[in-house]
Amino acid sequence: MADIEIHVTGRAGRITFTRPKALNAMSYDMCRAIDAAMRNWRDDDAVDLVVIDAEGDRAFCAGGDIAELYETGRAGNYDYGRGFWRDEYRLNAFIAEYPKPVVSFMQGFTMGGGVGIGCHASHRVVDDSSRIAMPECGIGLVPDVGGSFLLARAPGWMGAYLGLTATRMGPGDAILAGFADHYIPRETWRDLIEMLEASGDVGHVASHARTPPEAPLASMRGWIDWHFGASSLGALLASLRAEDSDRARQTLAALERNSPLSMACTIEMIHRLRAPEATMRDALKLEYRYVWRAMEHGDFLEGIRAAIIDKDRNPKWQFADMNVPAEAVEKMLAPLGPDGLTFEEEEG
């Protein structure tokens, strides 16, 4: 496949995104190819670990390729998007639960679908160029691909802040927030990958790691927890509006660009997923409830129109006054019954 290279080198299964001009955005076919390869390697004794990387300097994977989702959704075909998200989420769970080490090398932008591939690996490598973010609320979705689970497990209420503001995490913040594990300078990546291929020994990753750069979010912990522990979007906005500071005003401005419905549902999801018994699969099932409805009942098509198609940056959101009723949140996150996400491996 032209957009992705999949092969075995030495003791390593190798997956490389090869569409750098498109910021290595992941298509449905790429998703299925990754899934098929990793299922084959799981039971292959000749493969000790999996290495996932990408060509180019600008991005590991900046998200899913959403043009087809938009076109099919606009035509009233919601099944294509639902099928894509279902299979993508199953792959996210498969990577998170993979029985062999998975090493991801995430330079540049890692967002959306890229988080689902790279940030559920067992060994997640970043460098100085890394910028990891979950900007889904800006296009009428919620942080998905299992990202809601990572956000819920971030220190304090940092996850709510990251999921609502789409703040881009450099290497220090990504490690602090639990989206990455190791800071390794980019110039050593090629040699490290060759060692992993030759030896199949994932211990080489930790031995190459260096002290990560400063994490700017660390100094904001108290401020973030004060505001973003709010139980609802309305409470969060009231808290920020009550503070007379540039930081509060800048944060409000960032939130006001997003879909109110998406933000209200994101807050509810993170609160639910902070429960100690919550799992990655729970997060994916909850995310799927939202995206299953996102085209027909949410703001997704309008968000894509404004950001990607017409590029007018002027979306006409539902609940534009930011007053999102609790019933609207419950409707988007209600169980799907027989349409709910499952993880059984399909035959054939």
Picking from 15, 20, 43, 42, the residue whose alpha carbon sits closest to that of residue 30 is 15
User: Is the distance from CB of 28 to CB of 84 less than 8 angstroms?
Assistant: yes
Amino acid at 11: R
pLDDT surpassing 80 at residue 219: yes
In terms of CATH architecture, what is 4-134+166-208?
A: Alpha-Beta Complex (3.90)
pLDDT tens-digit profile of 272-304? 999 999 999 999 999 999 999 999 999 999 999
pTM given for the model = 0.96
Picking from 71, 29, 73, 66, the residue whose alpha carbon sits closest to that of residue 293 is 73
User: Is the distance from CB of 57 to CB of 24 less than 8 angstroms?
Assistant: no
State the DSSP code for 240: H
pLDDT tens-digit profile of 17-72? 999 999 999 999 999 999 999 999 999 999 999 999 999 999 999 998 788 899 99
Note the pLDDT of residue 31.
96
Q: Which residue has the tokens 């602090």?
A: 176
**Which residues, 6+ apart, have CB-to-CB distance to 202 below 8 Å?**
48, 49, 101, 103, 122, 123, 196
pLDDT surpassing 90 at residue 104: yes
* Ramachandran bin of 69, using left for φ above 0, alpha for ψ from -120 to 50, beta for the remaining angles: alpha
**Which residues, 6+ apart, have CB-to-CB distance to 62 below 8 Å?**
23, 24, 25, 108, 109, 110, 111, 112, 114
pLDDT surpassing 70 at residue 347: no
pLDDT tier, 348 (very low <50, low <70, confident <90, very high otherwise):
very low
pLDDT tens-digit profile of 107-166? 999 999 999 999 999 999 999 999 999 999 999 999 999 999 999 999 999 999 999 999
Domain coordinates in residue numbering, the chain: 4-134+166-208, 218-339
Q: Which residue has the tokens 């401005």?
A: 253
Tally of CA atoms within 13 A in the half-sphere of 102 that contains its CB: 27
pLDDT surpassing 90 at residue 345: no
Residue count (the chain): 348
